[in-house]
Amino acid sequence: MTINKRAVTAKDLTRFAVYSDPQYTPNGDTYAFVSTTIDKDNTYQSQLFTQKVTDAEPRQWTFDDGKNSNPRFSPDGQKLVFQSTRSGIPQLWLAHTDGGEARQLTTFKNGATNPAWSKDGKHIFFSAQLDKDDNVQNQKEQSKEERQKEKEDKAKEPIVINRLKHKSDSNGFRDEKRTQIIQYDVTKRTFTQLTLGDVDHGYEDISPDGNQMLFSANLDDNQDYSLTNDLFLLDLTSKEVVKLTDGKGSYDNASFSPSGDKIACFGSEFSYAGATLDELFVFDSATKERTCLSESIDMQLDDLMIGDTRMGQSTTGPVWSKNSDQLFFIGTDHGATGLYQADLDGKIEVLYKDNNHVFGLSYNAKSESFVLGISTPTNPCNFYQLYDGELSRLTNANTEFLDEVSLSEPETITVEAEDGWKIQGWILHPHGFEEGKKYPFVLEIHGGPHAMYGQTYFHELQLLAAKGYVVLYTNPRGSHGYGQAFVNACRADYGGKDYTDLMSAVDYALENYDFIDKNRLGVTGGSYGGFMTNWIVGHTNRFKAAVTQRSISNWLSFYGVSDIGYFFTEWELGKNLLDDPKKLWEFSPLKYAEEVETPLLIVHGEQDLRCPIEQGEQLFITLKHLKKEVEFVRFPGASHELSRSGEPLMRIERLNHICRWFEKYL
């Protein structure tokens, strides 16, 4: 710890930039990326930057008030297409890399997103929300006033619902619009709608010869009751659609090999429901024969690290090598993520892995090098070049912030659970730590439950350490990073061994760190972590304060009110409402409300459709009726993503309320 550095505050969320989405130019001498910040008006801004790999500093490319993202270079490197809200809603813009003003390509009423180039640079593919009878040739973007009036008019109309999948936490109530894939001719400046079905379509890739488009969708006849996401090939000449996968699982991140004869993707067939590890598959483009390349590893592919500052998408793989004989991807393992390589025989190698969080990659075939986005517990983000096994830093992000504040470096611990399983966790020392002094303690519990705490920057954890708490965070069974058996182990056992894992970790901390005051223990968590916080205070009185965030308290009602309740309840607890309501009640923290003696703060977003606010309401009313010490803080307009991407002032207020509660009772 550096003495002259100050402690972190909640408002420091506005002090640093979050980098994402690195994208190499074709010749490999430059890359572009997105930098997201919170401006003086407490709104998010995202700007594009470019940097030559030989330069010391990146150069800002966009400067408007809004969100610029998804930069994609043309195959010849002379143009850059990107997504921007500068006109009011996300649309596509095109700029020349040698300078000049960007030109707006799309004026779609509901916006245009996720651009991608054809291999010859003649076309740009993108996604757009369309009504059934929309014509892509005469799309007109609404003015701000027109959008506001339409929003006000819709608010006065009833919502007619006839689908099981009628809402989502990310998009609210669904309407009749569907995500379709559009092709833009760069020379003719014309649009062609490629998909037409009454479902959402996801663009995946275009074949090297430009004849076939790869997309994902659920085209099942009974798709309202199905969670599959299949891959399809669309012949752009004949318009014939061929199903590539078997309708039994979910597949994404698909791409053609440079040779065009293979297709790689991530996917699973739900063997362990939502706890199933993804596999790396390769399909023969002609025969559609499938090969699994990841059978030799018991590890989750992709980036499953959890945090509260990571914003913006980033490529995580699989990415083809220039000779179509290898694939590169990010893997999640033991509290860290790294870059891995698989050959077509299924041999897996680690290209880069350390005690940190690799959150994105870009591969350049010409130089055979990578740009990696990396975060650590004491540094929100930077970009690095990995070349011939050597890592060199490209950016020096957030130096002013990092020079000013003191951040706690986590100490890794390994705890033996009651049944001998090994549980990984981390301890943060409080700011200004002094030997011989006793400190209060907070246990943090992640959501998911199939996610992973680890070696990344996490503002909430650093804030609690800055406020003088010893912070413990762990990956109990159910977490990713420790293999299939481990991530599956909490299913149908919520509040069982996952609970005792956490209590074993607390016991370990008290036994091995004599500076923890055992009489001042706090606990908090969100989503599944909120469920577990509720469960803990109903089963032990060892904690003197608790904060439950966007939690689950009653599985009986969760089944019918959550956007995922109708399948998640059975996936995770083994039963749906009508199967065994008594069993669901046994799993519900609300049942144990009379046992709660711990002062409890309930934090919830008003528009949370994942764990709806009625879950917090039920718990509050029950505890208040029982004359328990409880308080309820509701955040207007906030979804389940409040802590990660919610309105900035709300995020800061949420952190302040958490700190206030622990300060009052610990």
Q: State the catalytic residues.
A: 527, 640
3-state secondary structure 460-522: HHHHHHHCCCEEEEEECCCCCCCCHHHHHCCCCCCCCHHHHHHHHHHHHHHHHCCCEEEEEEE
Give the Cα separation of 296 and 117 in Å (integer). Answer: 34
Which pairs from 77-84 meet CB under 8 Å and 24+ separation? 77/25, 77/26, 77/27, 79/121, 80/32, 81/105, 81/115, 81/117, 81/124, 82/48, 82/115, 83/112, 83/113, 83/114, 83/115
- Do 100 and 87 contact (CB within 8 A), yes or no? no
Q: Encode 561-572: b = buried (16+ Cβ within 10 Å), e = exposed.
A: bbbbbbbbbbbb
**75 prior amide bond cis, ω within 30:** no
Residue 298 neighbours by CB under 8 Å, 6+ apart: 277, 483, 484
Give the Cα separation of 409 and 387 in Å (integer). Answer: 28
Q: What is the DSSP letter of 67?
A: B
Residue 644 neighbours by CB under 8 Å, 6+ apart: 307, 308, 309, 310, 311
Give the Cα separation of 326 and 363 in Å (integer). Answer: 12
- Do 544 and 665 contact (CB within 8 A), yes or no? yes
Q: What is the DSSP letter of 590?
A: G
- Do 453 and 536 contact (CB within 8 A), yes or no? no
- Do 558 and 615 contact (CB within 8 A), yes or no? yes
Give the Cα separation of 666 and 664 in Å (integer). Answer: 6
Give the Cα separation of 53 and 55 in Å (integer). Answer: 6
Please report, for residues 19, 262, 337, 356, 554, the alpha-carbon distance to residue 379 in angstroms, rounded to integers and kept in the order given.
11, 38, 15, 10, 38
